[in-house]
Copies of this chain bind each other. A is one copy, B any other.
Amino acid sequence: MARTTGSDGEKTEAAVREAAVSLIARLGYEAMSMRQLAAEVGVQAAALYRYFPTKEDLLFTLMREHMEGLLKAWDAARPASADPVIRLAAYVENHIAFHIERRHATHVSNMELRSLSHERLTQILKMRTAYEKELRTILRDGVEVGAFEVDDTGLTAMALIQMMTGVIVWFRPGERLSIAEVTASYLSMTMRLVGATISHGTARPSGRAGDAVAL
């Protein structure tokens, strides 16, 4: 047999990407075989090589597009306001929403970096660093205008990102907490962590407002 009825390159490629993200997230990149992936798509292993020249190319493509999506999402969500509190709130909300929505892809991008060639690893890390720099800038601006009280902006940015991204480890949609509840909690924790002074009603306006934060 050869070409199958109804076969379509675009659809097959999309199916490969989707199955690959799911399989790599579940089994790990090294543990997933090309034959396994092909079986999931309903195709022979050789067919995969029409779309991705090597297994590593497939991984890299998934990661690059994930990171591009993250940067693009933040670009779209970035508020016009200069207020660091508003900007930080937008960053947190975007980060949580994006990562919950793409749990599997995030897992792949975070866990499989070591399977990339040096050059490609650098490329992915560059995007990641750019994304993290956005948060550091917000924190630094906040400290400058007295909206935040932070020891070390670099360390705090890393701590916040680890905390927020960690949501994909334990959160399961449809369980005890809704996405909105989780987001609200992380927002509140973030604002306390950076010692935010409430300036607008960005978070839940029910909180006690106006006072600064102690150690």
Contact = CB atoms under 8 A, between A and B. Distances in A.
A162 B152 contact: no
A207 B149 CA distance: 12
Interface string A190-212: 01111111100001100111111
Nearest to A165: B162
A214 interface: yes
Nearest to A154: B176
A163 interface: yes
Contacts of A30: 28, 30-31
Contacts of A213: 192, 213-214
Interface string A146-175: 000001100110111111011101100000
Each complex incorporates copies of this chain amounting to 2
B114 A152 contact: no
A151 B214 contact: no
Nearest to A161: B166
Contact of A189 (B31, B156, B182, B186): B156
A44 interface: no
A2 interface: no
A185 interface: yes
B28 A188 contact: no
Contacts of A184: 151
Interface of A: 26-28, 30-31, 111, 114-115, 151-152, 155-156, 158-163, 165-167, 169-170, 177, 182, 184-186, 188-189, 191-198, 203-204, 207-215
Given A159-B185, A159-B189, 5 more contacts: A28-B28, A28-B115, A159-B166, A198-B214, A209-B215
11 contacts: A26-B114, A28-B115, A30-B31, A111-B111, A151-B185, A158-B169, A159-B167, A160-B163, A162-B167, A162-B169, A188-B215
